[in-house]
Amino acid sequence: MPMLDLARFPRLPLLTQPTPIEPLDGLTRHLGDTLNGVRIFVKRDDVAGIGLGGNKLRKLEYLLGAARAEGADTVVTVGAIQSNHARLTAAASAQAGLACELFLTRSVPRQDPDYTGNGNRLLDDVFGATVHELPGDADSLAAAEARAAELRGQGRRVYTFPSGGSSPTGCLGYANCAAEILSQADQLGLSFAQIITANGSAGTHAGFVAGLAAMGLDTTLAKSFAVLAEDARARAEVLEKANATLALIGSERRVSPQDINLDGTHRGSGYGIPTDGMLEAVRLMARTEGKLLDPVYSGKAFAGLLHDVRAGLYPAGSSVLFLMTGGTPGLFAYKEALAG
């Protein structure tokens, strides 16, 4: 099996690895022939570690590892009001004994209390982060960098990272996960026709691409469904971040646009805006498996997977793996949409 050695990069353990891979037997029984003989498995990063879990912990292991290696006492990052990344940064910082400041933008046009004060936003406060709320059109990263400079002027040692933790260092988390999945598949006697994830800030997909490329494998094995940026921009971000991560790893390989497998057709009218497909996917997973997809990321991505399977994209008897990225607190911010 191909190998990937990331041991030289500082890492702060935040989750128990490997996270399990499980078959969706209840969903299979319910959908029957409409699955066309395709078996769907899930990679349970939603149950990993602290702060109610989620894919951002893999990125934070390397980001906070780097922060600790640099002697940081404070981390500053950005996101939307219901950012899973912000919530997990607050939780991981609390565990690591670091101060945490979050710059959160009102990126979704909602002002109701469910959205502005529940779910992830509630937990940011519970975990003790200092939260700065900004208008939806604000440059949150510029504001965060200005605050970091102010804190440094006070003698603090500050480490900043972008939305989703999707820097090359953060992307190492999913490069490592690509190797983890291949090892698990080998142990389970499985061969996945596709590994599928949601694409927000592009770091999870870019990490997968970089990991597969560094191991000399076909990068189109990893497919994402865009939920934030429109198709062309999402592709460009995955490409740029994957190549930056490959450079960081020290691999000579680089990827091209044709190496990026991305679908932008299940985004709907915008980031955080519910779609019929997302609502069906969230309810179907909950009512056949007792597992929770979130309404912003994995709900839309799983809707895309169901569409592709029903359309016959995968041969009968093949297996596909869906990355459950967490985001459960976000469900409580979408009470009205999910009622019924």
So which residues are the catalytic ones? 83
Which pair of tokens denotes residue 267?
């985004």
CB 21 within 8 A of CB 44: yes
Which pair of tokens denotes residue 306?
């169901």
Which pair of tokens denotes residue 115?
């959205």
The residue type of 57 is: L
* Bridging pattern class, strands 21-23 and 261-263: unpaired
Contacts of 123 (CB under 8 A, 6+ apart): 51, 52, 87, 90, 91, 329
Starting at the earlier edge strand, list the strands of the sheet with 158-161.
130-134, 99-105, 74-80, 158-161
Contacts of 135 (CB under 8 A, 6+ apart): 105, 106
Query: Is the alpha carbon torsion for 133, 139, 145, 149 positive or negative?
Result: negative
Alpha-carbon distance values, 48 to 15, 54, 88, 198, 324 (Å): 5, 6, 11, 17, 10
Straight-line distance from the first to the last Cα atom of the chain, in angstroms, rounded to the nearest whole number: 47
